[in-house]
Structure 1
């Protein structure tokens, strides 16, 4: 049985996608769906390289349609950061079939589409909505025109620049944004723009239609895209429609064929301490996090599998990791649910995080944060490495059962399942689904820890209430903590001179 696992770093949410595919061609020459180990999930590939994933679920007469493209922040340079986000907005300003945003809006209303939206992320851009299943063909046609033949007019560009700039500047003071941007800038100092889908207001203001057409030609090509359809549909019919509508889309050069320089594997030369005061944090608790560079899904496939397994081991409330921390009364952690560990799997920006929510933040919080970090690096990790039987056979067996069943059993809708599949298509490759479940051994865990955590320099952060921080500001400074601030969050501030001159 095959599996895939993703852990979402912030929510510590686990899910697994089971997938095993073999491409088939019938005796008549008609292409058939690849077989998968998930009931009612099918995969195709058109001759032009376009991937198609179909999840059948007839619980409601609806069809979810998504088109995803591998681009976004990962494809940016210091001169183009934010332009993929701007391009996403321009997709709704008119195309060859619906020449204005009003025409596109009317087409969406006429279909009774639900949840029409688009998202630009670190590793991909997604366009999606849900339509009545009887209008599947119209829905597929709508996105085909938008994806393949956008007008990218100057009038539309001027309009959307204002919208995008308002979004960027409106998010400047957001505490979550300030924290995450500081985090990425610290852990990925070589190419911080590859983690920033928003970019800067000035870069967006400088953008031209020609800039966007270059992106269209390079990235919006079938062999760099995938279509996801789910709901009250039949996979054979979906394939025929997609072939009819998207089959003429011409294959182009692979935009990812050139070798790329990767982010630094060891970005820090010493343990680094940062503190983030915020009114969004309760005065009764604080969050301590310890970050390491982790495996990158686009390169370190074997370690991704081991990391997933290790994450599950660490999530055991009665396991060594959580029980060690709960046994330290000075940390003041309420229960096992307030302790976490997880790897976030991105194509080039992997992270590993150890986390605890602690009580009584008014009491020696800087020292307790340092203690939490040193317990992880100097006690927990070394003991895992040095003790062969620290994990029982039953713990290993339980993790295997969890990873085998969790994803497709918790995917309540076809859309849920396709979102999981899309994540891995975007961050790794379809082949990642096809691998058989690895037989993880203790030696694999040791190799993973030695590669990414043992003797590495982590980033230690504390998030706490602003008023609580004011009372302990001096003690944090004395302990070597520096603040995460709005001024330190945004990498492009170092490039503002070139950006204002419009140098590209």
Structure 2
């Protein structure tokens, strides 16, 4: 235990003084067809993870396709040319001892198999079959339509989902579908093999994908085998993001307050969101956003003291999502149910002070940087999880963004924080939602205080 703690501390100190560079156990190459390959060697556990990620997700979806990137993710684990039924696919999963899953987000879809290290070559072949040769059988799609829509319905049973979904409508307007990975019920229910093939032929190409192999493997052996298996995958002769450009999200023209009621809401929740920076146009402020959010979530921050410590709120957090296309800045507050109106006024007052020179101390700034550095280190502790992190940043930023994360965090100054607030938050239009219990609406009269 002490030895492990010493090693972690030593690595932490190295991170603190060294110039950013690709970690020594990271190896990259690129095939002639454009497929990028990342190998992360970690010989501590006799397992390997084979993962592929594609730049796809809700940001590629007009309303008539909303939710189908997620359905495609489900169909990935169904019949393909080499395993022509769900039963054959699952038989191979059991034979190889695979734990598998996939996720769909705004800007990334990823698929991964974790299996014994002796089977990593089989895992590559299995991944090749699934990514290149899906069959999209009608009978399987009809079954999966119901499964995916069932996931949607389970989400809807959570009152917070109603607030979050309403927020997306207000914040993103007519581009709501581009920020809504779960989709629209009737689009999911009526999906066809033809629509699945449309997605495949737009985005599922080697030059729009990255393959990650991590764990107890040798990078030279992996590179050789990947070249042998995947080199025949023909690339597209087009850039999908030039052929089907992602529309720019339009800035809000006014602040919008709204109320969502649910008989199942046990406590009120306030959510305020602004359109923030992204990794295409303002990379620097994406780092600043993380530092700012971390500071305000510290127990010592004025935001916490004036809301939580005062008894006005049970919980208060500020966050930012790193994205290539307009990341949202969020403030989520759970007010004391007996002090909702007073809490709402206090939240607005605190936001008005966020750019004050004395709102954040030098010590809070340094503590936040240190916390983010520790978090960054902890994220690399489980190699299979690190693979997912790298997939996310490859799609929504770049691998260099990840490599240079800590050095750029360390460069953030108090003036950067003030500039960030003034550019994206202070006196800027935003969306503000309040979730309350249906019975509480008549008692609280939110229209009297939940307004600009």
Q: Structure 1 residues 75, 204: closer, same or farther in 2, change over 3 A?
A: same
Match of 1:155 in 2: 139
Q: Equivalent residue of 1:290, what SS? A: strand
> In 2, are the aligned partners of 1:96 and 1:149 still within 8 Å (CA)?
yes
> In 1, are the aligned partners of 2:105 and 2:181 still within 8 Å (CA)?
yes
> In 2, are the aligned partners of 1:278 and 1:463 still within 8 Å (CA)?
no
Q: Equivalent residue of 1:142, what SS? A: helix
Higher relative contact order (CA 8 A, sep 6+): 1
Match of 1:430 in 2: 399
Q: Structure 1 residues 104, 294: closer, same or farther in 2, change over 3 A?
A: same
Match of 1:440 in 2: 412
Quote the Cα distance in structure 2 between the aligned partners of 1:179 and 1:142.
Answer: 40
Quote the Cα distance in structure 2 between the aligned partners of 1:276 and 1:296.
Answer: 32
Per-residue deviation, residues 343-400 of structure 1 (Å, max 9, x unmatched): 12233242112233333x1x352x224313321233x22xx34x2x554444433333
User: Relative to structure 2, which stretch is displaced further, 417-426 or 390-399?
Assistant: 390-399
Per-residue deviation, residues 380-422 of structure 1 (Å, max 9, x unmatched): 22xx34x2x5544444333333333431234321012222222
- Counterpart of 1:234 (choices 187, 208, 218) is 218
Displacement of 1:235 after TM fit? 1.9
Answering whether residue 181 of structure 2 is matched by residue 211 of structure 1, we say: no
Answering whether residue 351 of structure 2 is matched by residue 358 of structure 1, we say: no
> In 2, are the aligned partners of 1:75 and 1:194 still within 8 Å (CA)?
yes
Aligned residues: 429
Quote the Cα distance in structure 2 between the aligned partners of 1:356 and 1:92.
Answer: 39
- Counterpart of 2:285 (choices 295, 299, 303) is 303
Per-residue deviation, residues 300-321 of structure 1 (Å, max 9, x unmatched): 3121011122223323322333
- Counterpart of 1:406 (choices 375, 379, 387) is 375
Between structures 1 and 2, the one with greater helix share: 2
Misfit runs of 4+, over 6 Å: none
Give the unaligned 5+ runs of structure 2.
Answer: 1-14
Match of 1:82 in 2: 67
Per-residue deviation, residues 62-87 of structure 1 (Å, max 9, x unmatched): 11221111111110011111222222
Match of 2:227 in 1: 243
Match of 1:472 in 2: 443
Structural mapping, 1:16-35, within 5 Å: none
> In 1, are the aligned partners of 2:167 and 2:432 still within 8 Å (CA)?
no
Displacement of 1:226 after TM fit? 1.2
Give the unaligned 5+ runs of structure 1.
Answer: 1-17, 19-34, 482-504
Structural mapping, 1:311-326, within 5 Å: 311-325=293-307
Match of 1:261 in 2: 247
Q: Structure 1 residues 164, 189: closer, same or farther in 2, change over 3 A?
A: same
Quote the Cα distance in structure 2 between the aligned partners of 1:182 and 1:241.
Answer: 47
Match of 2:346 in 1: 372
Displacement of 1:136 after TM fit? 0.2
Q: Structure 1 residues 59, 280: closer, same or farther in 2, change over 3 A?
A: farther
Q: Structure 1 residues 333, 204: closer, same or farther in 2, change over 3 A?
A: closer
- Counterpart of 1:193 (choices 171, 177, 186) is 177
Displacement of 1:471 after TM fit? 5.3
Q: Equivalent residue of 1:126, what SS? A: strand
Question: When the two structures are superposed, what TM-score results if normalisation uses the length of structure 2?
Answer: 0.86
Quote the Cα distance in structure 1 between the aligned partners of 2:316 and 2:146.
Answer: 42
Q: Equivalent residue of 2:174, what SS? A: coil
User: Relative to structure 2, which stretch is displaced further, 153-162 or 138-147?
Assistant: 153-162
Displacement of 1:156 after TM fit? 2.9
Quote the Cα distance in structure 2 between the aligned partners of 1:410 and 1:170.
Answer: 29
Quote the Cα distance in structure 2 between the aligned partners of 1:392 and 1:165.
Answer: 48
Q: Structure 1 residues 372, 401: closer, same or farther in 2, change over 3 A?
A: same
- Counterpart of 1:96 (choices 56, 62, 81) is 81
Q: Structure 1 residues 296, 68: closer, same or farther in 2, change over 3 A?
A: same
Quote the Cα distance in structure 1 between the aligned partners of 2:263 and 2:420.
Answer: 34
> In 2, are the aligned partners of 1:290 and 1:373 still within 8 Å (CA)?
no
Quote the Cα distance in structure 1 between the aligned partners of 2:359 and 2:293.
Answer: 15
> In 2, are the aligned partners of 1:276 and 1:461 still within 8 Å (CA)?
no
Quote the Cα distance in structure 1 between the aligned partners of 2:432 and 2:122.
Answer: 51
